[in-house]
A and B are shown apart, each in its own frame.
Chain A
Amino acid sequence: MTVATPPSTKLPPSNHPLADIIYRLEAGGAMLPDTPENLMQIIGLYKAYAVPMDFYWRDLLYIGEQVFLNPLPFFKYFISEEYLQLPNHYAGDTADLRIWRGGADCHPELREFIEKGELKQKLPRLFHHLWHDRINMEFAEECMRSMLWHRDMYVPWNQFDPYLDSEEYKQNADRAIKAYFKGNPVMLGLYKLFPDMFLEQCRQASYYANLGLFWEVMAPVFFEMSDLYDEGKLTSVPEAMNFLVNGIFAIAGRPIYHHVYIRGECYEIIPKSKGFTWLYEAALPYVEAVFYRTSPFRGTKSYNAQAKQVPDDQQDFHYGVLYADKFPVGTAGIPPTFLAQDMLHFLPPYLVEYYQQHCRGEDDMLVQLAVSFQRSMYCVTSAVIQALRTALLYPLDDPNPEHLKANRAFFEAQMDRFLRPEARIRDIQTQDYR
């Protein structure tokens, strides 16, 4: 394990069990050591993650905006050509803020996969779907649902969630629901009888939009990082992390909204004018819900109430990617398998070669890449922690020892979340864990 020395003589050594990682964060580093091997893995996984993510965000928006409350959404994963070409706001020539230098419509590798799939054959999309030769959109929905279910995160900064319960939201939703089911007396009658049933579905659709808008940003960020790495412009883990931090701040203010399109007309269920922003209403709740909490894997925990394996309090949930046991990926009851299998299709060649040299090579690539993915998400979480520190506290080179103390207290509080034995933070410190 690489042990960082305390960054400044202004502070006494920390007594925290994860002190060596705290020193690294104080020195501007990430939670995982800065090695070329780590960098290669995290960047390669950003690339492999970004391509399915490019599909996820498009389909999430498609479902939130077009499928909306369809009671029988059989074809919700058959995203329309319009949404495949939907220009990303942060890529291409028309970008609001150009993060990725590539095109604004869907990534060429994604386009090829949609057409040919794993079979490498051009077949109607329905056949690819039925043969399960497709992007596992269920994973994206699971992330969305965990954001929906872990409510009250980042109160009071996160205003999106309380807004879903407001009278204003209910009225907006009511208009959209009535418009959506216009001419359908059965559904309208049901809506009259059970208005809350539809309202809750509408909230879910709002979170579809929320997560779609979140990932619309992350996909070009990851694409750009991969390109920079290929060009030799990203050379260390802290550089990668700082790119993320800068990206977070550059994009922090992008609006989060929910527009529904019904027969060509736009219904603003959550209008842009509410002023919901990407950082507080999407990014931070997402990190909390997906990286830290999610829900217990059916294949690892018992939901038996008497066994008390699952905490009573949602705050204590610790089943996110930072805690997940990646070894059972590929087994029944382990949701990240979906994502791992998606990423498997888009690994850059250098990672495939790297995995072939380790463990079982080709045979257990799914687990190896899931572990690398965990490393890369530790890097993202480090960026979030550093960004929060930048936003709420002091610079790392602040001359005032009191300010450095406040920084340290913040880092220690963040590291406290990794003290439970499930946290993989100690494992990722070495390459023995793969």
Chain B
Amino acid sequence: MQLPLLSMLVWLPVLGAAVMGFYPGQLSAARARWGAIGVAGVLFSLTALLFTQFDLTQAGFQMQELMPWLPALGLNYSLSIDGLSLPLVGLANLLTLMVACNGEVGLKPNETLQRPRLFYTMLLLVNAGVVGALLSQNLLLFFLFYELELIPFYLLIVIWGGAKREYAATKFLIYTALSGILILAGFLAIAWLTHSSSFEYGAINTTELPTTIQLVLLVVLLLGFGIKIPLVPLHSWLPDAYVESSAPVAMLLGGILSKLGTYGLVRFAVGLFPETWASVAPVMSAIAAASILYGGFAAIAQKDIKRMVAYSSIGHMGYVMLGTAALTPLSMVGAVSQMVAHGLILALLFYLVGIIESKVGTRDLDVLNGLLNPIRGLPLTAALLILAAMASAGIPGMVGFISEFLVFQGSFSVFPIPTLLAIAGTGLTAVYFVILLNRTCFGRLDSKSAYYPSVSKREYFPALILMATIVFLGVQPSWLVRWSEPTTQAIVASAFPNQSIAAVLPTHVNLRDRAPHLEATHL
């Protein structure tokens, strides 16, 4: 290995943030943006390189970078990547680049971005924190990055947010801090109870622990990550935080940060307690179905399009949960795909809602109307919104369908009732998005008020890139699933060590072609 690619992905944005933060003299908004675009662009190219370097035949961790840091604490600087974190790293870097391209989205027509320098510094720090957490192989290091996210996100919400931003930011801070405490408590307990010498992920073996203790630890982790995802009873910070955030911050919150929760769940809850997971899985599948239905019904009741999108996020994270709970090779691939799909779709939705808010000046469903009007409306924005909503509702041809269908296909044999409820949930998604589209895009413009400014090419750019990705991955899904298949299958296999993997598979799924090494171990 020539380049310390992973470290570069983590530290380059930190370096960029430091340079931007401490740059002597004034930085105009445009220059700060170009600086952020530059750093994010380099990061994105490095990510592309990472994808080419990634060994698809290997299920485990690759590109290990290990440095002892505080051995007394068991804290090592240990980075590595596998098929679970790779797509999410790609997602995070793509979204960071898209946000850097247009951090002003959502502002009123004659408003400029306040404190642009701080904004883009925080953006780069967010990226560093998320990628760092995704790449960490050390539990404490993961926790460090996980907590590091708190500060920039708190600032992003509280400085650039909407009218009730203080309330929303504080709520977010408290919930996320609580999530951090639970996770830290879980990690510490795991390490101490297993008498592990370090917090290295690979060094921890929980199989010796009594089942009850495993269960308690698992529940603690579930609560911690469940807040972040969020799962239904723990979600109440989300609508406020998403709605009061500015559009780019909402993109980051929904697109990247929520993935840390599901990633943590798969990596630590499933990864560290693969066998105990089976005992909580039925409960989790019920919670997943509840999240999906709750998100759908709550979204139907909303009058604010951003709030609708926020509730849709709760519903869609439920699919990840369902796929993870089922823990079949197919459903796990579906869960990882759904994380990526949801990140792309939600970011696009928030971006478009931001454009609409800034041009029309309202997010109220009862006021918005006729945006598809080709001359006086926002036709391309509205068209993209329709496509994004269709992607979100699981219309074939776009990435949302692929991931949702993988989840359903994979989980039906294990949890048929929750899966059916989840399928009903996609129906609800279609319902509230049709409501949204009908009130927003269709209808006619009011000739008293509809003198909206047009959307510039630069403002369209991120939306078009995201849409292109969504459609491309929808028609060529192997580019979505190929990265994570070996890893997720290995995770599943580790959960059922005494069983042939074929037993947990739906009988009609033939994995022989996809993962010959798995078959080989059990034949």
Contact mask for chain A residues 325-338; partner B; CB cutoff 8 A; 1 contact, 0 none: 11111110000000
Are B447 and A364 in contact, with the CB atoms below 8 A? Answer: no
Are A325 and B454 in contact, with the CB atoms below 8 A? Answer: no
- Chain B residues near A331: list those with CB within 8 A: 373-375
User: Shortest Cβ distance from B94 into chain A, in angstroms?
Assistant: 30
Are B444 and A427 in contact, with the CB atoms below 8 A? Answer: no
**Residues 311-335 of A contacting B (Cβ, < 8 Å):** 325-331
Are B453 and A427 in contact, with the CB atoms below 8 A? Answer: no
Known: A300-B444, A325-B444. A330 touches B450 (CB 8 A): no
Are A366 and B375 in contact, with the CB atoms below 8 A? Answer: yes
CA distance A23 to B448 in the complex (A): 26
Are B447 and A326 in contact, with the CB atoms below 8 A? Answer: yes
Question: Closest B-chain residue to A361, C-beta based?
Answer: B454
Known: A327-B450, A359-B451, A360-B454. A367 touches B444 (CB 8 A): no
Determine if A363 is an interface residue (Cβ-Cβ < 8 Å). Answer: yes
Chain A at the B interface: SS class:
loop
- Chain B residues near A363: list those with CB within 8 A: 375, 454
Q: Which of B374, B375, B451 has the most CB of A within 10 A?
A: B375
Determine if B376 is an interface residue (Cβ-Cβ < 8 Å). Answer: yes
Question: Closest B-chain residue to A365, C-beta based?
Answer: B375
Size category, A interface: 10 to 19
Are A330 and B375 in contact, with the CB atoms below 8 A? Answer: yes
CA distance A263 to B444 in the complex (A): 51
CA distance A359 to B447 in the complex (A): 12
**Residues 393-449 of B contacting A (Cβ, < 8 Å):** 444-445, 447-448
User: Shortest Cβ distance from B438 into chain A, in angstroms?
Assistant: 16
Contact mask for chain B residues 349-376; partner A; CB cutoff 8 A; 1 contact, 0 none: 0000000000000000000001001111
User: Shortest Cβ distance from B372 into chain A, in angstroms?
Assistant: 8
- Chain A residues near B376: list those with CB within 8 A: 327, 359-360, 364, 367
User: Shortest Cβ distance from A431 into chain B, in angstroms?
Assistant: 12
- Chain B residues near A366: list those with CB within 8 A: 375
Determine if A157 is an interface residue (Cβ-Cβ < 8 Å). Answer: no
Determine if A433 is an interface residue (Cβ-Cβ < 8 Å). Answer: yes
Tell which of A328, A330, A359 touches B444, judged by Cβ atoms closer than 8 Å.
Answer: A328
Question: Closest A-chain residue to B454, C-beta based?
Answer: A360
Question: Closest A-chain residue to B452, C-beta based?
Answer: A360
Are B447 and A433 in contact, with the CB atoms below 8 A? Answer: yes
User: Shortest Cβ distance from A405 into chain B, in angstroms?
Assistant: 36
- Chain A residues near B453: list those with CB within 8 A: 360
User: Shortest Cβ distance from A219 into chain B, in angstroms?
Assistant: 27
User: Shortest Cβ distance from A366 into chain B, in angstroms?
Assistant: 6
Q: Which of A325, A327, A427 has the most CB of B within 10 A?
A: A327
- Chain A residues near B373: list those with CB within 8 A: 327-328, 330-331
- Chain B residues near A327: list those with CB within 8 A: 370, 373, 376, 444-445, 447, 450
- Additional 9 contacts, C-beta under 8 A, given A330-B374, A360-B375: A327-B373, A328-B373, A330-B373, A360-B376, A363-B454, A366-B375, A367-B375, A367-B376, A434-B451
Q: What would be 9 A-B contacts, judged by CB atoms less than 8 Å apart?
A: A300-B444, A325-B444, A327-B370, A327-B373, A327-B450, A331-B373, A331-B375, A363-B454, A367-B376
